[in-house]
Amino acid sequence: MKVAVAQLNPVVGDVEGNLKKAVETLSRFEGKADLLIFPELFLAGYPPRDLLKRPSFIRKVQSALDRLVEVSGEFPRTGIVIGAPVSTGKDEGAGLYNSAFLMCEGEVLAVQHKSLLPTYDVFDETRYFDPAPEIHVTPFRDQVLGISICEDAWNDPALWPTRLYSFDPIKALAKNGATLLINISASPFHLGKEQVRFGLISKHAKRYGIPFVYVNQVGGNDDLIFDGSSLCIDGEGNAVEIFPSFEETVGILDPAARGNPNLQPEDDDIESLRKALVLGIRDYARKCGFSKVVIGLSGGIDSAVTCCLAAEALGSSNVLGVSMPSPYTTTESRALSKKLAGNLGIEFEEIFISEMYRSYVESLKGHLGLTGDEVDVTLENIQARIRGNVLMAISNRFGHLVLSTGNKSEIAVGYCTLYGDLSGGLAAISDVPKTMVYKLAEHINRNGEIILAEIIRRPPSAELKPDQKDQDTLPPYEVLDSMLHQYVEEGLSAREIIELGFDPETVNWVARAVKRNEYKRKQVPPGLKVTTKAFGTGRRMPIAARYED
């Protein structure tokens, strides 16, 4: 049996557009494949979040599903597996199933609901769905299909400190006689996820001796990025096909073919990170209706990396870089910003904010008790907020999306200004630690210098007061990022991090800073998730709280 894998990029809520994409794909591949497989909740787009609470939206999805069943009658040689939400028809529970539909020749041959509903990290599926009351296999052509949905394949004890579910859908499908396992998925990316998924699906296939076809969504939706990386694994656990990451593709394969033990996911972490961020920026802008972006260029590495990613995502002609010198901006910073813009071929403007800043200070000094020339945090933040206002004015006037440029390390400890450098529509690198920003810069330069060496080498500085350096306030970034990884992503307490050999005073400062700045992070623009634990929907910490750890 020939199978076509439709690794596609739906738009959340655009039911008609997603249906059109499904029908166009079916028309292209009808007769070339016996079965065409789309990702999880494809007709709704993933994640639909509280759209699922709107009856009109569910009716629209059901109408599209009915239409696709009709269309399948026009293309009788190819069956379809596609994901959509469907009403349970019950007056208890959440009222919806997350379902996979098998249809062919104008009929629905089988419906399999999702059994395992994740509620960790970015997932909140019990808010919307009820679990499948049963699981079954379905004969189709010369195979018996065992269809599952995303999390149904993830109940592997090796992945979890404690097992999350008592039921294993893949084991049940194998036991019930499946000869081909299929998983339709909308599995968000984080660094290393491709290798984890590959190992998971390979283990399932080898354990049960059954070929496994895994179809994952691709694209960016809000803070989540979906890498695709769809797979076909033979019954010995070897890859028959690995589909490209971070791009739409439809390919035909034979699940009965023998795999290649040397075929493995190719991208390293930094290349995956670059692709993920480019895709995330591109889709966030386009799906939200923006064609151009504006970025504040400081002459530093964060804005340089963000600008490079944006130029790749949207094209250089759609990026505006703005340098906003204050009284404390060095000549070098101005020159480096201009040179970077020239290297990228983007539009560039220089808007001086010194007069605006002096006007602020003059107007406020009596009210704030300002005396002398000392620049305290209040005056530093005024400069940052002027810059935020300038960028937002450009956004308002010309319709550009403002990309903020703060990295995860700064945002974690609050080394950023609310309504200043945190202003914007998308925080492009807010989940990228500073040390990884440097690695990303070097990777961007892999085929020639785009980000100038001077930008990479120079000590980081906000340049909001004379001779300011980040390391005057923060621990060295190598130390800070190691601590933050343990505290934020691994969930260790300050005491446990100290026991790993870190300096107690520094650890306690970092832990306090992370907790103290929770209120800032609640007001940061949506940020693209690329690590296992990002600040955003997957980390729900209280603001008005008092606790020690």
Residues classed as catalytic: 40, 114, 150
Look-up of token digits 């080394």: 415
Q: How open is the CA angle 351-356-360, to the nearest 5 degrees?
A: 155
* Rounded Cα distance, 428 and 408, in Å: 10
CB 409 within 8 A of CB 484: yes
- The DSSP output letter for 245 is B
Return the SS3 of 325. coil
CB 495 within 8 A of CB 511: no
**Shortest CA distance to 451 belongs to which of 321, 277, 308?**
308
Look-up of token digits 């008092």: 546
* Contact partners, residue 116, CB within 8 Å, separation at least 6: 131, 151, 152, 154, 155, 164, 165, 167, 169
Residue 176 phi/psi, 5° resolution? -85, 5
Pairing of strands 218-221, 143-149: unpaired
Strands (E), 356-481: 401-404, 426-427
CB 286 within 8 A of CB 318: no
* Rounded Cα distance, 43 and 240, in Å: 28
As given in the structure block, the two tokens for residue 161 are 């400190």
Run of H or E residues at 239:
strand 239-242
* Rounded Cα distance, 321 and 400, in Å: 11
Q: How open is the CA angle 433-435-436, to the nearest 5 degrees?
A: 65
